[in-house]
A and B are shown apart, each in its own frame.
Chain A
Amino acid sequence: MKTVIDSTRAGKLNWREILNYTGLFRYLSLRDVLVRYKQTWAGLLWAIIRPLIQIVIFGFLNLIIQKNADYKNAFLFVSSGVIMWQLISTAITDISNSLVSNSNILTKVYFPKILLPASSLLVCLIDFAIAFVIFVVMFLILKGAPGWEILFLPLVLIYAIVFCFAVGMLFATMNVKYRDVKFVLPFILQIAFYISPVFLTTGFYLERNVPEILKDIYMLNPLVTILDGFRFCFFGGEAIHSVPLFLGSVGITLLLLIFSVRYFLRFEKTFADFI
């Protein structure tokens, strides 16, 4: 096995090499899982408690603002939004910290750096899976089996994962050089939360008396398509308000993924110099 080191800066996605490091990937992820709730009293229960608290808070807000009379439906609606939002926000935050928080490894050992954001994502998915299972059980109890729309669930989840990974990688790479990310990202996420249909319906946003152009921009927001898509799988109804804008938001996500991964690879080999 011959290895060549030269001064070429741009990296490539070397799948064969990444496959050689599956063991490391497993232990990095395992570490993150084990460490996440270490020395907490509630332990893994936090994966349920955190979304639950949010569901209660935003459930109330939903009832107050949207005056939904159907409590059961409102509860399930807000729950679906909150668990998906938890996945998105924690995944983006954790991925964007993944390189910096592992700088001790990054500066001492060689490995494909993409393992770090990938394992952060995996850990967030485990949290999501726990909350998701509980949501499904509640859904089955309160509303019964979902319709044929549930078949789209895998697609929606892949879409969400791709989006989180793309945004997370972008911030992760920036974070290596500019720690400003640590301060900026929470605000970005907060704004994103309020302009996305997490606890209010898309209809509620679209019925506001605002210029059409803002509504179009709103529909281009990948978060809107992810959240609406996720709900479509369970509640059915209208998933796509406008086909071109829907395609636009998917396109934005894909472009973002390509850009982020290339940006990441461009700097991958020099992380140790800057971190």
Chain B
Amino acid sequence: MSSPIIKVEGISKKYNLLHKDGGTSDSLIESASRWARSLVSREKTHESREEFWALRDVSFEIQPGDRVGIIGRNGAGKSTLLKILSRIVLPTSGRIEYDGRMASLLEVGTGFHGDLSGRENIYLNGSILGMSKKEIDRKFDEIIDFAEVEKFLDTPVKRYSSGMYVRLAFAVAAHLEPEILIVDEVLAVGDAAFQKKCLGKMREVSGGGRTILFVSHNMAAIQNLCDKCVYLKNGQLVDYGKSELIIPQYLQSTNATSSVDLSNRPDRMGNGKLRYKSFQILDKNKQATEHAMCGSPLYIDLDVDGAAGANLSYVRLSVAFDDDYGNRITHMGNDITNQLFEKLPAGPNKIRITIPKLPLKGGEYTVTLFAEVNGEIADWIQEATLLKVEAGDFYNTGKLPESSQGSFYMEHSFERIS
């Protein structure tokens, strides 16, 4: 094995959280008065400083040419790790060694200035990202080609559409040629129609033996692009290894307590003969999970309680999903599947809904639960919970349509028939 290109040894990062007004940048008077008070009284002032470890003792090594995905939930320390690697924030302890030129892309269009033209911004942004003038000169045509903004080269970028802006910004970034490239979730921002092209470009870049570190919530993108994964949880390294091994581990990692308790929801309607108690999703192995995976089987377990003495006949249950904009995406009901429960016993019942292959795009959906007993509404909870769906490899091809192209996936195939 060759020597590692990046060596991360015991990196920790501590933040002091000030519990008073929360700001890190307190005014001069405040820190002066805190100092003055500390002179007078030896006891601690009432605002407490809480330590928060964004990263704790993280170590791993990356070989030249590796494409490494950094995965973990929000707040796991991914961004902090990238910022330390890019030398933007200082680690509290630990040491990192790397070899060669590193460029970090924590944002597209860093340093873009609205008043400058596209041409000027290409040079400014390129030099901020670490390109020399010669390098930019050489790639200039390629960049404007990629961004498709030839006509607007001399227009101030503040007059650009947001799509053009992001395209131009990403075009500059995509033409960086450092030995090590660090990319944070940049694909998530802005123009969706551009994502595929960017992913393709990045694969092309990494094809040239370059080392890439990539943070994303999009597991399809990670699976597609990265051969190894660093899995962080609460600031600590859980595992590091081949993507095929780490990604499932990450997706299953969610604790079984992810069941949503609905017993005390006040915002519900209905006569109460039947009440939803909890909502729980299960992954393809029927393990409790927090995130549904697109393209995989999904099970929904519903706990419903029948009121004592109630006559629970002809029970109709339904579950509906809405998107971010409040559009109803789909509706599932046992009346439609001809599975009405003619009689349910009082007390707790567990109902399981089976979805053989989840066709929803990655994202969050609001769940509405509805129950009817004998033709009367028994329970109705709108926005009962959120269903989080991870983008998955629905078509088993590593490819998905651009996210602007509709809101769900449909199985299909093409063939030549004559």
Contacts and interface: CB of A to CB of B under 8 A. Distances in A.
Interface residues of B, number: 45
A108 B94 contact: no
Contact of B90 (A2, A7, A23, A108): A7
A38 B25 contact: no
B127 A24 contact: yes
B418 to A, nearest CB: 56
B88 A107 contact: yes
Interface in A90-110: 102, 104-110
Interface in B97-129: 97-102, 104, 106-107, 110-111, 113, 115-116, 120, 123-124, 127-129
A273 interface: yes
A215 interface: no
B90 A109 contact: no
Interface in B218-241: none
Contact of A7 (B92, B116, B120, B124): B92
A30 B96 CA distance: 34
A273 B87 contact: no
A127 to B, nearest CB: 18
B111 to A, nearest CB: 5
A104 B101 CA distance: 22
Contacts of B94: 6-7
A26 B104 CA distance: 20
Contact of A4 (B95, B111, B127, B133): B95
Contact of B88 (A7, A35, A108, A274): A108
Interface residues of A, number: 38
Interface stretch (B78-86, B315-323, B328-336, B380-388): B78-86
Contact of B99 (A2, A105, A110, A177): A2
A177 B97 contact: no
Contacts of B72: none
Contact of A6 (B29, B95, B120, B131): B95
Contact of B104 (A30, A102, A110, A178): A110
Contact of A109 (B25, B88, B95): B88
A24 B128 contact: yes
B124 A2 contact: no
B120 A34 contact: yes
A180 B32 CA distance: 13
Contact of A1 (B15, B92, B101): B101
Nearest to A38: B115
Contacts of A30: 120, 124
Nearest to A105: B111
Interface in A105-150: 105-111
Contact of A274 (B24, B96, B104, B132): B24
Contact of B28 (A35, A180, A270): A180
Contact of B110 (A1, A2, A27, A108): A108
Contacts of B124: 27-28, 30-31
Contacts of A4: 95-97
B84 A109 contact: no
B41 interface: no
B87 A110 contact: yes
Contacts of B120: 30-31, 34
Interface in A32-49: 34-35, 38-39
B95 to A, nearest CB: 5
Contacts of A102: 111
Interface string A1-34: 1111111010000000000000110111011001
B185 to A, nearest CB: 13
A238 to B, nearest CB: 41
A272 interface: yes
B48 interface: no
A269 interface: yes
B97 A108 contact: no
Interface in B48-102: 83-102
A67 interface: no
Contacts of A110: 86-88, 104
Contact of B91 (A6, A23, A105): A6
B127 A27 contact: yes
Contacts of A72: none
B89 A272 contact: yes
A241 interface: no
A35 B89 CA distance: 29
A23 B92 contact: no
Contacts of B156: 38
A179 interface: yes
B27 interface: yes
A104 B110 contact: yes
B215 to A, nearest CB: 14
Given A31-B120, A109-B129, A269-B90, A178 B95 contact: no
B88 A23 contact: no
Contacts of A178: 25, 27-28
B89 A273 contact: yes
Contacts of A272: 83, 88-89
Interface of B: 15, 24-25, 27-29, 83-102, 104, 106-107, 110-111, 113, 115-116, 120, 123-124, 127-133, 156
* Top 6 A-B pairs, shortest CB-CB distance: A110-B87, A5-B96, A38-B115, A27-B127, A108-B110, A178-B28
Interface of A: 1-7, 9, 23-24, 26-28, 30-31, 34-35, 38-39, 102, 104-111, 177-180, 269-270, 272-275
8 contacts: A7-B91, A24-B130, A34-B120, A38-B115, A105-B111, A109-B104, A109-B129, A272-B83
Given A31-B120, A34-B115, A180-B28, 19 more contacts: A3-B102, A5-B87, A5-B95, A5-B96, A5-B98, A6-B91, A7-B95, A23-B133, A30-B120, A102-B111, A104-B110, A108-B88, A108-B107, A108-B111, A110-B87, A180-B29, A270-B89, A273-B24, A273-B89
